[in-house]
Structures are given as structure tokens and as C-alpha cells.
Amino acid sequence: MSDTTSHPNPRLNTEVVSDALLGKWKRERLESRALVADPRLQTINGQTMDDHRERVLGQLGILVEEGAIQRAFPSDLGGSDNHGGNIAAFQELVLADPSMQIKSGVQWGLFGAAILHLGTRPHHEQWLPDVMSLKLPGAFAMTEIGHGSDVASVGTTATYDPETEEFEIHTPFTGAWKEFLGNAALHGQAAVVFAQLITQDVNHGVHAFFVPIRTPDGTLLPGVGSEDDGVKGGLNGIDNGRLHFTHVRIPRTNLLNRYGDVAPDGTYSSPIESPGRRFFTMIGTLVQGRVSLDGSAVKAMMAALTIAIRYGSERRQFPGASGRETVLMDYGLHQRRLIPRLAETYAMAFASERLLTVFDEVFSGAKDTDENREDLETLAAAFKPLSTWAALDTLQEAREATGGAGFIAKNRLVGLRADLDIYVTFEGDNNVLLQLVGKRLLTDYAQQFAGGDKAALAKAAASQLGDRVSRFGLRQLGQSIADLGQMARSVESLRSPEAQRALLADRVETMVAEIAQALREGTKHVPKGDKRGYAQASEDAFNAQQHKLIQAARAHAELLQWEAFTDGIEQITDPGSRQVLTWLRDLFGFELIERHAAWYLVQGRISGQRATAVTAYIDRLIGRLSDHALDLVDAFGLTPEMLRAEIATGIEAERQDEAHAYVEAAKAAGTWPVHEKELRKRAQEAQRREAAAQRAS
Amino acid sequence: MSDTTSHPNPRLNTEVVSDALLGKWKRERLESRALVADPRLQTINGQTMDDHRERVLGQLGILVEEGAIQRAFPSDLGGSDNHGGNIAAFQELVLADPSMQIKSGVQWGLFGAAILHLGTRPHHEQWLPDVMSLKLPGAFAMTEIGHGSDVASVGTTATYDPETEEFEIHTPFTGAWKEFLGNAALHGQAAVVFAQLITQDVNHGVHAFFVPIRTPDGTLLPGVGSEDDGVKGGLNGIDNGRLHFTHVRIPRTNLLNRYGDVAPDGTYSSPIESPGRRFFTMIGTLVQGRVSLDGSAVKAMMAALTIAIRYGSERRQFPGASGRETVLMDYGLHQRRLIPRLAETYAMAFASERLLTVFDEVFSGAKDTDENREDLETLAAAFKPLSTWAALDTLQEAREATGGAGFIAKNRLVGLRADLDIYVTFEGDNNVLLQLVGKRLLTDYAQQFAGGDKAALAKAAASQLGDRVSRFGLRQLGQSIADLGQMARSVESLRSPEAQRALLADRVETMVAEIAQALREGTKHVPKGDKRGYAQASEDAFNAQQHKLIQAARAHAELLQWEAFTDGIEQITDPGSRQVLTWLRDLFGFELIERHAAWYLVQGRISGQRATAVTAYIDRLIGRLSDHALDLVDAFGLTPEMLRAEIATGIEAERQDEAHAYVEAAKAAGTWPVHEKELRKRAQEAQRREAAAQRAS
């Protein structure tokens, strides 16, 4: 079906679209939504940190009872080996209480998942049942005060002693203390500790160890210290804290030994020979957290927009020409503030579902290849930054668009924003993740010229054109810029999905080519053999391109989101829904082009006239979509119990009706006082009439 | 002195610059900073709402004792008629606890100031001493549930009864309930209530009334109701709430009658004939709040950047080519994230001081003309939105740039952000304020063609060029676009302040002219005499331009900030400081041009080549300024007691040194284990050498 087919007065079928958004793990999502609607699992605003922590611990117990957290674990241990469904259900929990969500993520998605994915069968049998039942709460001790993004450089050591067949876990300086760990300040009885594995005087790099830290009654074990991180900007229901270890001894078998093991005599072995690849394989299990946060962020955006658009469709302010006060959503600016966010939310929702699908394929083992794992990691590193940032922006825009009411905790927006703030830097700092994507793009770009044909690389980079076809991390972008130039010149074709895609893809390709060229040129002057000089020049050149590389990665993510949105629409057969969603997708695409218009203009990809047309078309799309804004948020399917925002319940319409009825009744009864302004106008008119009458007489 | 003069290795003289930033009210600022350093006035993280409210009430008492809040009140009542100094001191308080700051703003800047500015001498004598001593805490009851930005339409009525010589204050429907008022939920004993004044069956528009609401022991008076707004996104030390009134009677003399009075028999009189102008004059006193928030926002930005830049200058992450881990502030991206914010903060600081000066001139009576009041209001409406938004963005960027540490409350960033969130919509919603500025620009534009020469207006709008000279709210922008075109073509001249100013001014002028033309064209088709049709067409046309008008207003504010920065540098004689600040000002200007590059390209104001040069120059400026980043934040003069952020105390450098010393000692002692990677590299090299030896033999 062509996107340009138009339907007279199309309407969104909210059930159809709601279903599409629920996606493949609809059942799990609905099960989780039932929990979100359960008051026992919901935030109580204004609780003290201590009370909130206690409540959240209790909520984790409820999740266990309700069978909400077992899905990802092995079937024979009480789980159901359902990785995609597990994450889908987890994402929904954000609307109950993000503290509960993230603490459950710490317990089962990090601590438990590390035992599952980095440990082996004996570990699973020994610990997972208690982890799943919450009998054994645990921390995920990876980050240190001194090392966050750079996990490979952590300072904690695990030194093997063949005499006793033990590892000695040690944090030799303050910077090596484990930091920001949920369950560390109070509830954790064990931790998966990431430390440099040292045996026979060789450091084999970072490995994970199971380390008991507290007795069940909460007493710290000998050699283990803990500090409380105290009050945070959000997520105060989680007992984040520090852990330090002073020569703490654990059995040799507490090494989670799936990717590296130490024999009783101290001999190290690993199924992965390269220490680098071994490290990245172990760290790769963290991708689960990123996939989880991505979808959670989208959920928060849905809630924010549902609240703001419902309120904005009822709220009136300033008298309009119609005689009544104008509804906020009828203001051009209000539409400009909220409707592009709606487009972005849909794009990210479809993108998130796609990411989850790839995740499930890999983690279920259905398509667990190195290449797919790498693609999964790149996709997660591309989507998680954009969606978590967009969530903060959208929550803030919704907060501002609902004015003072948005600032009151019972309307949800401020609490969600405070809690989600940390999502942009944890489970991978957003900028560091985008840099990862950027590096992947550069690698893929270079691979086109595999075989070391550096001249070809340089030439392609310099010319920045041609029919290049690259994988660019996840798929072929192939669209020749020559074609593109023709399209951008024709008036109508800019609206075709092909043209949108080509413009978005071209930007990624060209930016990557330019960065590759700049990196090469940055090291050209270094004399051959000067390794140190080359390293420094290479670092400097990269540093100079870092900002641009992040932009390229972002452009890549935007393209993939646009594609996911487009693919998502393809799955929908209802013509009205397709039409409205196609407008929304166009708005998403055109907003991206408008946002990056300077780049397109400088590169000569679009003309100034065309750029102006883009803005005009955006205005038209927004005007058209404003009639569908309520349907589009209804399709998110968020019930009142999930939203729990007073201003999204229709209360404003009731108040408007009450006020309107009061005024109308007073007018009808003749008790509505005339305004001084009106009297003055009448007096002036009378004067004019009199003067006219005098002139006439 | 020319801006292009360059000095070899210029350094910022932090004392000189600090003094310039303290500005005209240095004494008052320093007095207030001493209070900020007083632990009794500082936030305690994690307090319950109830405890925080109680503490903040107590802090207000301390402010009274310390003589911190009396400055703006009349000398003979214990004040010192010092309006500028009062606001300057108030702005500093944000770094103690924003709740305390804003609650003191409610008590003295709104409640007290309304009595002062809208009341007359008997009111001052009757109430101000108790207001100043806090014996009489009060609320400022303007906003209603149903009417926030549109104060003229509030539903509360004050109906005069000549029989008893009383006003009856009444909130006839829920939407008319006063809402979000500090001091309303608990502590207020009176309120200045804004209500439609009705006498002799005529509504004379909104006036302010002094209405007792509680006894000193906290019992609500008959007819007065109160609801608590409960937990908010921030400022939880303030007891915000609702007030409603059911036929509450107050004496006639409780009308704050400076701008409108009612005689015992019910006859209304006012020194301002036009009801519209009268309303805006009364509302005009609110400008004080906007001026206060503007400077407070700048203070928060200074704190955020001091914290992030000091931490970023100590924190290391990822091994660099130098052999040690790289300092965050040496990363290109980190510089791009923080240094332009530094430029913006300086621009806004100088702009804020200028706004405060204009405010003082008007409120001290030194230059209290209608024109100056209008200029003051426009300037406040231009600066307050940009600075309060920038504060949120800067706090957030600093939070993210400091990672997990930034999320911990004791590092200040999250608390300040949560509290300052509401600054963007209270005391005038930012978008509504910018719309006010936009309308002023349109009015000024039209006035160039005064005498009703609409043809000239249309012509000028259409041609968008010439040597137009306009006041544009505050000053002449006069810079011909013809000149500009020439400048933008030459390579060097884009760096001159004249070129920067011309580019910024041109954008304002052109946008306003285009909007004016579009507004005219939007009503052209309406048949003569069709008033209703004209009103509707006019509203539609305005609505279609609303987004663009806000952009124009923002562009105007940016120009004025740039000018204030430039003027601020002119006051500094130290050459090194001038040089560094000039780079910073250039960065501010170029960042604006880069941000709006698409507009400049579409309009043909700069070429694509020039746009690329702008970005390259920004990169160069940032690199250059990164050496001065610590000096630039030192010049903010924020002491450790004011910052109270652990990560800004040097603690990270200590940890880095400790870790470095540990590693060095272990290496020296030969106990530092070799890394498996290193062993593999050595083995490979050995193999290569062996192979080479075999080939050679």
C-alpha cells in the first residue's frame, strides 16, 4: 500500500494501534500492567527515604509472589526461559514505581542475571533459587568510585591463593571502592563483584565473583565495609551505597567461570583466547539493562504525553474570537510543543520493540551469533541514549505544558522525571554508548575497503559520493546521493518515504566518511615507526572528531528509528490508522530534517526553498494531526490506574463546565455585572452616534 | 580597545572579573553570601515535607533577625528603599535553599510588595511592620485553578456592599479557587487576593484586596477554606495550597487602592482612566519576581558549572596516549558540553545585572517613566525565560557530566534542578512571557510606520531590507543588511563584534518583518465590516505565527544578552581578562549563529562555507578556552560553603593521587602483576623475532 494514498477523514483505530504497540509480548505486558494497577506496588509521594526503601523491598516480595520476575530464568529452576517477555514485562513496571522497577532490575536483571549468564550450572543450582525467591538479595558490584564507564580499568583485585584454593577480594584504594550499587547500603547479602583476576602473578582482566557480604540479619561480614549513598535525585526507594573489601577470602568456585576459570593449582583457562574479546563478551550481558531502560523510557513518554494532551484538550486560557476561552491544544505553539513529541514517541516505541526482538533472538539462542550479538549491542547503544534523553525532555515539556499542575507530585510528571534522570547515565553513559555506535560505524565504513586498500578509503571519503553500499552497523543504507539530489529538487517527492530515508541515510554516510577522512589526515604527518607519536596524534584526531562522531551516531539512531516506525506501519492494515500514522511518521522524518537543516543546506542536499517548504509542511502536518492527538494517546492504552494523574482524569473539563455554567446562569438571570470596558465602549459608540447625528443635522 | 588585540598567554584576573560579576550591588550580595554560608539557612537533604516546611518558616525568622529582607521597604518603616540591592541579595539566597528563597519571596516580594506597591500609606502603616517582622505571614492569592497566565479573567469576585461598607470576597466555582499559593496551606494569616471589583453592578476589573484568612494560632476564619497542594517536584519547604472564599466580608478600606478606589457610597474612581492600562500597571509590579528569578537562575548556573568543571578537571577515565588516564576536561566532547554553557552563563550574568539596573532605576523612582516601565517589563520578559531554561539545562548537563556522582543529593545538582524546575512557569510562564516580548517587537515594528501608513509597513515587511532603524523594545538595532552581506563574505570580519551583532540583529529584524507581513496577509481576505470574521482570521493568523514569534522573541533576547556581555567586557580594563572574556563572548555569539545556521543559510546571510567556518572557529575557541575554564568558574567567587558539593572540593584529585601512588609503589616494588594482554603481546613479538631469525639464517 502506498503511503501517499489518502483517505477522506481517516481516523485512528485505537484498538488496532494499541495492539501493534503492545507487540509480540502482549500477554506479558498485560500481565505486568495488571501489577502496575495494583496499589501495593505504586509510589507513595513524600515518603521518607527509609520508609520508601522498606516499602520497595516489600514490593519485590510481591513481585516474587505474583510470578513477575521468574520469566528469564531456566525452566527447571522455576523460570520459563522467556527473555523477551521478561524485559517487556519489566519495562511496564516503570509506571508503578521506578524505584521498585530498578531495584528488581538490580536483584534479578543484574545480580541474578550475572550468576545466570557468567556462572555455570553449579552456580545456578546453588544460588538462583534463593535469588529468585529474594531469600538472597544481592548487589551488582561493577562500578567503582574511580571507574564508571571504563570497566576494564577497575581497581578491585581478586588474587588467587593456591594454598587455600581461595580468591582474595581486595579494594586497595578509595577509588576502587564499589559505588552506586543498589542493595549495597542495606539489603544485599551477597554481591557479584567485578575484579581483576590475578593468578600466578598474571592479571587476566576483569572477571565476576560471587562474594557474600552480609548475614541474613544484616551484619556485614569480616573485611566488608559499606557506606550509604544517602538521598539521591530520584529512585530513593533503592538503598544505593558503596562496598569495600579488605582481603576478603572466597572459595575458588565462587568465580563465575563461564568465560574464564582457575584450576586448583592456579592455572588460568578460558574458552575465549583474546582477553579483549573475553572482556567484551562478559560485559555484553549488560545489554539487557539497556534494552530494559529503552522501553521503560518510551513508556514514560507515553504517560507524559497522555497526561499533557488530555489536560491540554480540556484546559482553556485567554478569551478567543469564538467567544469562549481557547483550548490549549488549539494554540499553534502548544501543538508545536507536544505533537512532534508524539511522533517521536511512536518512532521510539516501534524501535524499542524491534530492539527487544533482536535481544530475544540472541538471548533465547535462536539467532545467537557473534554478528547478531554485535548488532544487538550497537542497536541498544543507539536507542537507549536517544529514548532516555527524549523521556526527560518529554516529561519536562509535559510538565511545563501543564504549568503549576504539572509540578504537583500527584500529577506524576515530576516524580517520573526525577527517577528517570539517572537512566541517561547508568547502564552505560549515553554519550559513551553513542561513541560506541560511532566507532562501529567507522569500523563498518573501513570494512568496505577491506584488504587494507587505504587509498580507496581515502578517495571515497574525500569524494563523499557514489553508489556506496555499506552495512553501517545494522543494515544497508545504499542510496546514491545522485538520486537524492534529483529527488530533493522535485516538490512532491520530498514527502515520499524513499526521499526521507535517503536524506536521513545520506547524512549518516557522509558524516562517517568525513570523520574517517579527518582521522586519517590527523595521523598523516607522523613519521613511520613513531608509535608513541602515532598514538598521540590518533588520540588528538579522535578527540577533535568526538563531538561530530556522537552526532553521526545519533543520526544513525534516528534513521533506524525512522525505519522501525515505517516498518511498524507496514504491519497495520486498517487504512485510517495507516494514514494517520503515516502523517505522524512523516512528521518525525521532517522534524529530523528540519533539526539538521543547516547540515543539509551546507552539503547542498536541499535548497533554501526546500528547507522552507519542510517547515511549512511540518506546520501543516501538525495542524492535521492535532485532530488525532487524543486518539494517538488513547492508543497507548494507559488506564487511569496506570497514569494516576489527577489532571488526566477529566477533572479540568468538569471545572471548565462548572465555571461556564455559572457564568451562563448569571447572564440568564441578569446578575452578571457589565464590565467597565464594555460601558466605555458603549459610551464611545453613543458619542460617535451623537456626533454623526449632529453632523447630519 | 579593540577586540582583536591579542595578548601572549593572556590569563583571567579572577578578582577583577569576580568584582565585575558582583556588580553594582556588591555589598548586598556579599552580605547575602554570608547568610548562604550559614548552616542554619541551608537545605538538609531528605527532610520530610513537614519538617522542611517548619524549618523554612524558622529560616524566614532568621532572615528577619539578620536584616536580610527589609531593604525594599520604606525607610521610616524599618527598610531602606533599596530596590536593586534587595533583589541582588535575594538572588544570592538561592544557593542556601531555594525553598527558603521562594518562601521569603512570597512573604516579602509578593505579599508584602503588593501591600507596598498597590496599597497606600494607611495600608503600609497598618500591615507592613508585621509583614516585615513575620508576625503576619501572608499569601499572594492571584493564580486560580482555572486561570494562571490569564490573570484578567480570574473568577474570584469582590462585590461592594454600600450598606455595610464592605467587600464580599467570593470564589463562585472550583476553577476560581486560588491555587499554588505559598503560605496558603499552613502559615498564612492573610492574603492579598486578586478579584474582579464589582460595585454598582459594574465590574471594574481585577484589583487586590487584603483578606485575613487565619488566626495567629492557625484556625481558618469563617468562609475561608484551604487545601494543601502536598508534595511537589521541588520547593517542598513551602506550604503551597489552595484558598477558597465563601462570601467573606472585609472592610472597604482593605482594597489596596493605589490604582483604583471605591467611595463609601460605592462610586468607583481611578487615577488611570483606561481599564486595560490600569490592569497592566497593577500587574506590572510583578516584574520584581521575574527580575529576581532571572538572577537566581544565573547563580544556579554558576554553581552547576563550578561543580562540573572542577570535578571534570580532576576526574580521569580511559587510558590515554600519555600513559595516564585522560582528564575528562581534556575530552573534546566534554569541552563541547560545558564550555559553551560557561559562555552563556557569563552572557546571562551581565544581562541580569543590566536588567537589575533598569529595575532599580524604575522602582527607585530615579527614572520611573511609562516608557522605562515598559522597557523593564519587556527586558524581564525576555531574560527570565532564557535564563531559567538555561539553568535547568545547565544543571542537567552538569549532572550528566558528573555521572552517578551528580545524581547524589550531597553534590547539589539534582536538588537545585528540582527546585528550579518551577521557575520556568511561575512568575509568568516562559512561553507567555516570550510572546509578550514578541508582541512588543511587532508593536515597535508597526510604530516605525506610525500614522497608519499600512502600505509602507507592508512594503518594508515584504522587502526585508534597507537601513531601517527601530527601537525594538530596548535599543536601536540599525545595521543594514547590505553591509552585513559584505561582511559575511569576508573571512576575518565574521569574527568582529560588529559582524556578530549585525547577524544577530538582522535575524530579529527580518523575522519580525516576516511575521508582521504574514499577520497582515492573514486578514486581507476578510470583507470590510466583518468584525467577527476579522477577529477570527486575525486569531488564526496569529496562531499560525505563534511559534515563529516566540523564536523571534528569543532571538531578540539573545541579541540583548550578547550586547550586555559585550558592554560588560568594556567595563574591564585588565587586558588578560578582556582577552579571555572576548573569546568567551565570541563563543557565545558564534554558538548562537551556529544554532540558527539554517536560518542564516536559507536567508542567504551566510554561505555554506562560512557556516562551516563558524563551526571550525567554535572548535578552536573551545580548545583555547578550556585552559581558562577553571579560572572562569573561580571568578564566580562561590566559596565551598556556598557550593557544598563534595565533588567540587578536590576529593576526586585526592582519590586519583592515592590510586596513582598505589600503582606506582606496586610497580616499584615489583608486585604489580603483568597483564595477560602484555604477555600475549610479548609472546607474539618473540614469535616474530624467531621467525625473522629463521628467515635470516
Q: Looking at this predicted complex, what is its ipTM?
A: 0.94
One-letter identity of residue B82: N
Q: How many residues in chain B? A: 697
Q: β-pairing, A157-161 with A190-199?
A: parallel
b/e sequence A409-441, b meaning 16+ C-beta within 10 Å: bbbbbbbbbbbbbbbbbbbbbbbbbbbbbbebb
Which cell is B16 given? 577583577
Shortest distance between the Cα of B568 and any Cα of chain A, in A, equals 31
Which cell is B195 given? 478579584
The whole-number mean pLDDT for each consecutive block of 10 residues of chain B, a chain of 697 residues, reads 59 97 98 98 97 98 97 95 97 98 98 97 98 98 94 96 98 98 98 98 98 97 98 98 98 98 98 95 92 98 98 94 90 96 98 97 93 94 98 98 97 98 96 96 84 52 37 36 46 79 94 95 90 91 94 98 97 97 97 96 90 92 96 98 97 96 96 95 93 87
pLDDT at B470: 34
pLDDT at B323: 84
Kind and range of the H or E run holding B221:
none
Which cell is B540 given? 488564526
pLDDT at B464: 38
DSSP 3-state assignment of B202?
strand
Question: Between chain A and chain B, how many beta carbons pairs sit less than 8 Å apart?
Answer: 296
DSSP one-letter code for A221: P
What DSSP line would sit under B423-459, residue for residue?
Answer: GGTSSS-HHHHHHHHHHHHHHHHHHTTTTT-HHHHHH
Instruction: Provide the terminal-to-terminal Cα distance of chain A, rounded to the nearest Å.
Output: 74
DSSP 3-state assignment of B680?
helix
C-alpha distances out from residue B574 to B17, B328, B495, B577, Å = 9, 30, 21, 6
Q: Helix B83-92 to helix B287-312 angle, to the nearest 10 degrees?
A: 40
- How far apart are the C-alpha atoms of B393 and B341, rounded to whole Å? 9
Nearest to B612 among A148, A404, A602 (CB): A602
Average pLDDT over residues A99-106: 98
- Say what the pTM is: 0.94
Which cell is B409 given? 543529593
**Average of per-residue pLDDT values in chain A:** 92
Alpha helices in A571-606 (DSSP H): 575-595, 597-602
Among A1-10, A375-384, B323-332, which is the least confidently predicted range?
Answer: A1-10
Among A229-243, A475-489, A510-524, which is the least confidently predicted range?
Answer: A475-489
Average pLDDT over residues A50-65: 98
| CA diameter of chain A | 124
Which cell is A355 given? 530492539
pLDDT at A95: 98
Q: Report how far Cα B578 is from the mean position of its chain's Cα atoms.
A: 25
> A415, B233: Cβ pair inside 8 Å?
yes
Residue bearing cell 581558562: B628
Residue whose C-alpha is closest to residue B91's, from B299, B384, B290: B299
DSSP 3-state assignment of B599?
helix
pLDDT at B457: 52
Instruction: Provide the terminal-to-terminal Cα distance of chain B, rounded to the nearest Å.
Output: 74
- How far apart are the C-alpha atoms of B243 and B227, rounded to whole Å? 7
**CA dihedral sign, ordered A323, A325, A326, A329:** negative
Whether residue A477 has pLDDT greater than 70: no
- How far apart are the C-alpha atoms of A383 and A133, rounded to whole Å? 32
- How far apart are the C-alpha atoms of B29 and B38, rounded to whole Å? 14
Shortest distance between the Cα of B6 and any Cα of chain A, in A, equals 24
The CA dihedral of A633, A634, A636, A642, to the nearest 10 degrees, is: 110
Nearest to B659 among A155, A406, A408 (CB): A155
Which cell is A691 given? 456626533
C-alpha distances out from residue A536 to A432, A522, A541, Å = 20, 10, 9
Please count the other Cβ atoms lying within 10 Å of the Cβ belonging to residue A380.
Answer: 28
For residue A594, give the chain B residue with the closest CA: B598
- Find the radius of gyration of the CA atoms of chain B: 29
Confidence at A448, pLDDT banded by 50, 70, 90: confident
DSSP one-letter code for A111: I
- Find the radius of gyration of the CA atoms of chain A: 29
Give the bridge partners for B210, in sequence order.
B192
> B231, A544: Cβ pair inside 8 Å?
no
Shortest distance between the Cα of B423 and any Cα of chain A, in A, equals 10
Give chain A's count of helices (H) and strands (E): 25, 14
Whether residue A475 has pLDDT greater than 50: no
Give the bridge partners for B251, in sequence order.
B166
Tell me if A541 sits within 8 A of A522, measured CB to CB: yes
Residue bearing cell 598523516: A524
- How far apart are the C-alpha atoms of A347 and A352, rounded to whole Å? 9
- How far apart are the C-alpha atoms of A36 and A42, rounded to whole Å? 7
> B426, A404: Cβ pair inside 8 Å?
yes
Whether residue A367 has pLDDT greater than 80: yes
pLDDT at A495: 83
pLDDT in tens, A391-417: 999 999 999 999 999 999 999 999 999
Please count the other Cβ atoms lying within 10 Å of the Cβ belonging to residue B8.
Answer: 6
Confidence at A285, pLDDT banded by 50, 70, 90: confident
Q: β-pairing, B241-245 with B248-251?
A: unpaired
pLDDT at B528: 87
- How far apart are the C-alpha atoms of A117 and B661, rounded to whole Å? 36
φ/ψ bin of B492: left (φ > 0), alpha (ψ from -120 to 50), beta (otherwise): alpha
Q: β-pairing, B166-170 with B157-161?
A: antiparallel
Tell me the chain B residues in contact with residue A597 when contact means C-beta distances shorter than 8 Å: 598, 601-602
- How far apart are the C-alpha atoms of B625 and B584, rounded to whole Å? 7
Residue from A144, A427, A509, A652 carrying the catalytic annotation: A427
Q: Residues near A107 by Cβ (< 8 Å), separated by ≥ 6?
A: A60, A69, A131, A134, A137, A138, A182, A183
Q: Report how far Cα A570 is from the mean position of its chain's Cα atoms.
A: 24
More confident residue, B473 or A497: A497
Nearest to A174 among B320, B404, B655 (CB): B655
Average pLDDT over residues A61-78: 96
- How far apart are the C-alpha atoms of A630 and B204, rounded to whole Å? 39
pLDDT at B321: 86
- How far apart are the C-alpha atoms of B494 and B485, rounded to whole Å? 11
pLDDT at A408: 98
- How far apart are the C-alpha atoms of B692 and A693, rounded to whole Å? 117
pLDDT in tens, A128-138: 999 999 999 99
Tell me if A606 sits within 8 A of A488, measured CB to CB: yes
One-letter identity of residue A688: R
For residue A432, give the chain B residue with the closest CA: B333
Residue from B92, B314, B397, B427 carrying the catalytic annotation: B427
Check if A563 is active-site: no
